[in-house]
Amino acid sequence: MDLKLAGKIALVTGSTAGIGFAISESLAKEGAHVYVNGRTQGRVDAAVAAIRLHGAKAKVDGIAADFSSSAGAEAVIAKLPAVDVLVNNVGIFEPKPFAEIPDEDWYRLFEINVMSGVRLSRHYLARMLKHNWGRIIFISSESAVQIPPEMVHYGMTKTAQIAVARGIAESVAGTGVTVNSILAGPTESEGVAGFVEAMAKQQNKSKKEMENDFFEHARPSSLLKRFATVDEVAAMVTYMAGELASATTGAALRVDGGVVRAIF
């Protein structure tokens, strides 16, 4: 299936590993000129090299930027003034009891998870509208719908992303620009894999036993009963970035393994 992404310029934030890296690699395979992003130049260079290694013809470059303040978006925009596809993927999470989350943590997660996408979308939208074509995709989470009690501040940012995406979509009604959010479920990304392995070691269990425990107790509503792979999430994002997804906008699309107990 030709998604008609050849020659399109795509930026994927937070893409040196995990879901972001998988999205970048998938878009590059479809012919897009992809810009990966990470906090350090070393991580960015390694990601670029890895994508080129698996796809000799891949057009991929990188931009190092830290989105913990507005300076991150400013640095990216200075080096890449226009894109056709923007994937707002960068995000952080941390388990912490609600009563122990200080103001600084609320602001820190909101700054990185939400404001990074707001700032980049605000800038890149103008060119997309001028050319009457563009894709803005926010990588949210099933945690936006079912707020995890162990990470209330994280869930809040994921809900905010969906609201922002829908609002932008409403503002560009009738144009060739689409704006959507992806609700990823529990996914075996670099951070999650490390967390599960550490817990398994701590409890003297195998990784598979820990995964089974997680879906039995923490996410019992899962229909998949396993962690999704980063490639499974990237497949949905890549389709939504393409020309063929032109009739889908303002949507919150679930790649959650059925964790959210709802038919809509």
User: Residues 55-61: contacts with CB within 8 Å, 24+ apart?
Assistant: 55/25, 55/28, 55/29, 58/25, 58/28, 58/29, 58/34, 59/28, 59/31, 59/32, 59/33, 59/34, 60/24, 60/28, 60/33, 60/34, 60/35, 60/36, 61/33, 61/34, 61/35, 61/36
- What whole-number distance in Å separates Cα of residue 91 and Cα of residue 158? 9
- With beta carbons less than 8 A apart as the criterion, state whether 237 and 87 touch: yes
For 19, the token pair is: 């879901």
d(CA 14, CA 89): 6
> What are the backbone angles phi and psi of residue 251, rounded to the nearest 5°?
-105, 155
Residue at token pair 């990823």: 184
Residue 174: exposure state from Cβ atoms within 10 A (0-12, 13-18, ≥19): exposed
Distant-in-sequence, close-in-space partners of 78: CB < 8 Å, separation ≥ 6: none
Active-site choice (35, 124, 154, 239): 154
CA distance 253 to 182: 5
Q: If you ran DSSP here, which 8-state letter would residue 114 be given?
A: I
Active site residue 107: no
Taken as a whole, the chain contains a residue count of 264
Q: Which residues are catalytic?
A: 154
